[in-house]
Structure 1
Amino acid sequence: MLSSHEACRLLGELPAARESDRIALRARLLAAAQRYGFPAPERERMALACYELATNIVKHAEGRGLVQIWYQPGPTLDLFAVDRGRGIADLAQALQDGFSTSETFGKGLGSLERLSDYCEIYSVPRRGAGPRRGWHGTAVLARFSRAAEALPAGVGLFSRSLHDDRANGDRLFLEQGSHHTRWLHVDGLGSGPRAQASSAPLAQALAAQTDPVWVLEACDRLLGAGGHRAVAAAGLVRHAGRGLELAGVGDVHAHLIDDGAQQPEKRQLGFAPGILGAVHGRASTHRLSLAAGALVVSASDGIRRRWSLADFPRLPRHHPQLIAYLLGYQLGRLADDQSLAVIAATPGKAGTAAGS
């Protein structure tokens, strides 16, 4: 079973505009890679990929962007770059060696696919003017892993503490079998060490129970016994039958996304008010069928719940981890711990082989 406190950590984040920041980011990446046992040739590939990501932001987005270093299971190191530039009108053409719009050799994007174990690029060209023109820019995930399998297939995790402190009141527990994915998404009340301590023992609730309602009932007992308080959602996706069972109590939220329909749909799944370990009614439950390409997104209240698929066209077609990083970055509230999980109805790309 994975716990986001150990399995999903932001190791570094720096803007790309200044050369000093790019040098510091490279040094932080190489130190982390050495600490997690990546061999020297792979560390060199990471450094080159980091340089390409930062350079592309400077060339094509006037430096308006940043690069993050993430730790994921494996061990796996992810480079996630995001900018608010003009976007890429023809991504397939931009990936061809020799193509450039900035009078350079044009090897940056194409080289990322060769340098990394897995690479995926999402880009939306700028659309018109006005407050509702939606997100535009480019987001890139470049993954380096020492394991044949890193994160479970079809899963994306994002977890970031308030002010990037060591303690995080949000926690995700996740377990995947051959035909299902189960997870528990907990938001301990408040922030800091006490909020983090509230969720620490709750892995046993997910391990002992299958039905999401029973998982939350077990959480309620554990929290009450320890004098802690939290809100939470528990979910089960059955991949073979493409079914979702989801239960929740309190101010967490979830969305069901179906991008395979003629008109992409995002359905919000709300939960009954209350606090586990204190006063609450029966957990709200959702039992739904899932389309083949559907995604389930669960999030703490540190992630804004009001957003539109129209602001991120075609995003659900991408790897759940890229989706998690981009939504977490764009929708995160600066005054709270932030976390979200993206679960695919039918696991596809495992994020371990190069491609886009």
Structure 2
Amino acid sequence: MKKLIAALALALITQPALAEDAPKWSLAIHGGAGTLDPKQMTPEKRAAYEAALQAALEAGSKVLREGGSAMDAIKAAIIPMEDSPLFNAGKGAVFTWDGTNELDASIMDGRDRSAGAVAGVKTVRNPILLADKVRTDSEHVFLMGAGAEAFALEKGFPVTPPEYFATPARREALERLKAEKLLALDVDHKFGTVGAVALDQNGNVAAGTSTGGMTGKRWGRVGDAPVIGAGTYADNRACAVSATGWGEYFLRVGVAHEICARLRAVHEVKAAMASTPDAGNAVEAKEAQYIIDEVMADVAGLGGDGGVILVTPEGHALFSFNTTGMYRGRATSAGLREVGIFGGETKVTSTPDH
């Protein structure tokens, strides 16, 4: 509660009206956060990751530039990351203790807070699309395992053979974990979960997250990525959030919903304190950054690590992580376009809205 009061106090500073050049659309993506070592990042590997992030960023940006929905944009951005062996989602997912690849994903539309999620699926190439089908074509929010796969078949998803998802690097990580009696964190120096959040030109936000979980996971373990409110949340009144990290801690904090709830409270306080009805209740970037940093500090205080990406109705595209790095990118119609890997660094190119 003290943290919320502090955030609200910060919000009560004089709030100028949104500038006319505020972004009409915004997009942020991530490809995992964790203990990344710059010394082990070869120029070739860096180039590969940056290219993959740029491709995902461009896929989502194209949808938004052309007036498409935030929901379509996040799917467009996540699919190429699910298809890339560089990330722990779809192809390239980590192995469970039993030597299988089990995939989780979730998606949420800020317009009506409709949501869909799947966990433990093994035969769906792009789990983010199945999560969205749960959202739109079922009366449920969360399906798992064999039931989710039966639903996929019923809805026309082709069966993807399990070997499609497997990669030598992920198999070696499992073998080393077993041989050396290591923890998942000892072989997973990064959390390769992927995600995207977007604001479209109609003022709607959306969020999506997809992952293969943790190396050597057992007993049907599920982390935060497919859990609405922990790894994914979207609400037009507040923000859209996608998380990546040590899922057990993100679940305990309810990270994605916690961030949106605090931002919504700031909006409501500003509206109540406005001197005139048209004074507005816009949240500044520094206020939103304060909130996401505070929530990530809460995660760290419990012993967890990872990161989040965020977009707000005002067009702010932000991120926060308490690890040495997070594969990330963001773009807006105001011309911002950047990707980054380690803390304190970004690769920027300007792309004006067109």
> What's the TM-score, normalizing by structure 1?
0.31
Which structure features the higher share of helix residues?
2
Q: Which has the higher contact order (CA 8 A, sep 6+)?
A: 2
TM-score, structure 2 normalization: 0.31
